[in-house]
């Protein structure tokens, strides 16, 4: 006889694993950013900004060159078309 406790919900287990992996990656990324910020010195606000933005990645040259613009610089200004 199989009880409800004996049944494994693999989709819930997979999502729990993915959340744990993402949490671990975030913790490691933030820790590396904290170590870099401490070695650079500076104020607490600079330290905080570095840690808060550690998930951002720089743009590649291919991301900028020739790519269509998705947002005009000033959407309120009349267009010159």
Structural domain boundaries of the chain?
10-57
Does 81 have pLDDT greater than 60?
Answer: no
- Dump pLDDT digits (tens) for 27-73: 999 999 999 999 998 899 999 999 999 998 887 877 767 666 677 67
pLDDT band at residue 24 under the 50/70/90 scheme? very high
CA dist., res. 36 & res. 18, Å (int):
27
Q: Which of 76, 72, 42, 37 is nearest to 53 (CA)?
A: 37
User: Tell me, what's the pLDDT at 67?
Assistant: 67
Task: Please name the residue that has the structure tokens 């905080």.
Answer: 48
Does 7 have pLDDT greater than 90?
Answer: no
CA distance to 34, 49, 52, 68, per residue, from 41 (Å): 11, 13, 16, 39
pLDDT band at residue 14 under the 50/70/90 scheme? very high
């Amino acid at each position: 006889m199989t009880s409800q406790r004996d049944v494994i919900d693999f989709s819930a287990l997979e999502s729990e694993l993915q959340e744990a992996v993402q949490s671990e990656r975030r913790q490691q990324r933030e820790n590396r950013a904290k170590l870099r910020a401490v070695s650079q010195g500076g104020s607490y606000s600079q330290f905080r900004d570095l840690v808060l933005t550690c998930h951002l990645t720089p743009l590649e040259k291919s991301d900028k060159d020739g790519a269509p613009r998705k947002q005009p610089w000033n959407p309120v200004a009349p267009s010159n078309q």
